[in-house]
Structure 1
Amino acid sequence: MSLEKEQKINRLLNSQPFGVVYLSSWLTENGFSTQLLNRYKKSNWLYSIGTGAWMRVGEKPTYEGAVYALQQQTQSSIHLGGKTALSLLGKAHYLELSIQRIVLFGGSKEKLPAWFNKYDWGLKVNYCSSSFLPSKAGLQSFDQGNFSLQISNPIRALLECLYLSPKRQELVECYEIMEGLNNLRPKQVQELLEQCTSVKVKRLFLYMAEKSKHDWFKFINIDKIDMGKGKRSLVKDGVYIAKYSITIPKVLAEYE
């Protein structure tokens, strides 16, 4: 391989943080053809972790490095959300000694690439595509050491948990998380609730916030939040909360 080609790939690899995945689409945009990439592979510069994804030789892929690539190389809104974001921010109710599952959220038309789904990250990946919140509202930067990721802030993360409830997320655990969120900014809460399109999520969030007796709740203007019409029943034989027109599990209604 010519010195010029070696310098070209070296410059590109050095432009990205250590440990990130390199997407073929991004490499092509930067002037690296499939033929050239295969030559770099033979020359032991890169190795493939699946169709459309590469790693620098000597580095091992991580799910964080893969999410970074999606966010930075394709401008995807796919991000760590729900309980995963809450755990990273120290807001989860139960401390996990080791991460065995991650929760990813993305826009309603976004899908995880096949290489991401097929690769063994050593943990279970739960992905949810939705449009109940604007794709990039309520995200914050989270330092991963070599690079930063966009993850859900505590408000959005709890809203995502409620979106998954009650089938994929226990409501009592959501409430226990809510109890710990005593220093939220009312303006941020207001903005996300006004942008949220899920009636179930908004009613549950407000019910739990009021039940938790957080000081910030008194500053929320419910009149500006579209609460929808009609009743919502989350479980059979539950307890009906008239103020929010929702039927919730008895264990949640009686939780103190």
Structure 2
Amino acid sequence: MSAEKTTKINRLLTSQPFGIVLQSDWLTEQGYNSDLQKRYRKGNWLKSIGTGAMIRTGDKVGYEGAIYALQTQSTLTVHPGGRTALFFLGKAHYLELSAKKAVLFGNKGERLPAWFQKHDWGIALDYYPTSFLPPDIGMVEVELKNFSINVSGAVRAFMECLYLAPEKQELMECFELMEGLNNLRPNQVQDLLEKCESVKVKRLFLYLAEKAGHEWFQYLVLRKVDLGHGKRSIVKNGVYVDKYKITVPKELEEHGKRSI
């Protein structure tokens, strides 16, 4: 390989953090055409992990490095959400969290690239493309070892948990998570509640927040939150909560109540 090409690959590698995926389309946009990419692979600088994606040879790349690539090299909004995001934020450390599964969310219509889906990241990934919340609100940046990625902030992450409940997220665990969210900012909660399009999520959020007795709850302006009409049966054979017109598990409704 010529000195000029060696300098170019060195410039690429020194400008990018360790532990990330390099997407072929993005490399082309940066001036590294398919012929150069092929030479870099042949020269053992880069290693393919699937059609359209490479990593540094010898580099250890987790799914977070793939998320970094999707967020910075593509226009996708895919991000760790739900309980996974709360774990990143230190809000779920006291609950048992399987190290073998991560929850990802993206905007409705966004598909994960084939290389992302087919590669073995050493962890199971559950992906949910949905537009029940706008893609650009309630996000925070989390610093990892060599780079940072965007994950759901505490309010958005908890709403994502409720979006999955009760089929893929237990409501009692949701309440335990809510109990730890005692320092939320009312204006952030208000904003996401007003922009959330899931009636189920909004009713459950307010029910659990009030049940947890958080001080910030009293600063919410509930008349500005569209809670829809009619009853919502969240679970079968549960207890009906008239204030929020939802049916919840009996153990959840009775949790914290003292028998007389």
Same fold at TM > 0.5: yes
Q: TM bucket by the smaller chain?
A: over 0.9
Distance 1:93 1:255, change over 3 A: farther
- CA drift of 1:93 comes to 6.1
Q: Secondary structure at the match of 2:7?
A: helix
Query: Can you give the 5+ residue segments of structure 1 that lack an aligned partner in the other structure?
Result: none
2:15 aligned with 1:15: yes
C-alpha distance in 2 between matches for 1:224 and 1:243:
16
- 1:98 Cα deviation (Å)? 6.2
In structure 1, the partner of 2:80 is 80
Q: Decide which moves more: 3-12 or 126-135.
A: 3-12
The letter of the residue matching 1:130 is T
Tell me the equivalent position of 2:36. Answer: 36
Find out whether 1:136 has 2:112 as its counterpart. Answer: no
Shift, 1:252, TM fit: 1.1
1:185 to partner: Cα distance: 0.3
For residues 239-250 of structure 1, what are the structure 2 equivalents within 5 Å?
239-250=239-250
How far did residue 65 of structure 1 move?
0.7
Cα deviation, residue 70, structure 1: 0.6
With 218-227 and 87-96 compared, the bigger mean Cα shift is at 87-96
Instruction: Give the equivalent residue in structure 1 for 2:222.
Output: 222
Helix, strand or coil at the partner of 2:243 = helix
1:1-256 correspondence to structure 2 within 5 Å: 1-92=1-92, 94-96=94-96, 99-256=99-256
1:96: how far off? 4.2
Shift of 1:251: 1.4
> How many pairs were matched up?
256
Deviations 1:181-206 (A, max 9, x none): 11100000000111100000000000
Offset of residue 75 of structure 1 = 3.0
Q: Is this contact kept in 2: 1:83–1:161, CA < 8 A?
A: yes
Task: Tell me how large the CA RMSD over aligned residues is.
Answer: 1.2
Q: Distance in 2 between matches of 1:179 and 1:222?
A: 20
Which residues of structure 2 form unaligned runs of 5+?
Answer: none
Post-superposition CA distance 1:41-97 (Å, at most 9, x none): 111111100111101112122111111111111132111110001111111164447
Describe the SS at the equivalent of 1:105: strand
- CA offsets, 1:226-247, max 9 Å, x none? 1111111111111111111111
Give me the whole-angstrom Cα distance separating, in 2, the residues matched to 1:60 and 1:211. Answer: 44
Q: Deviations along 1:103-138, whole A, 9 cap, x unmatched?
A: 000000111111111111111101110000011210
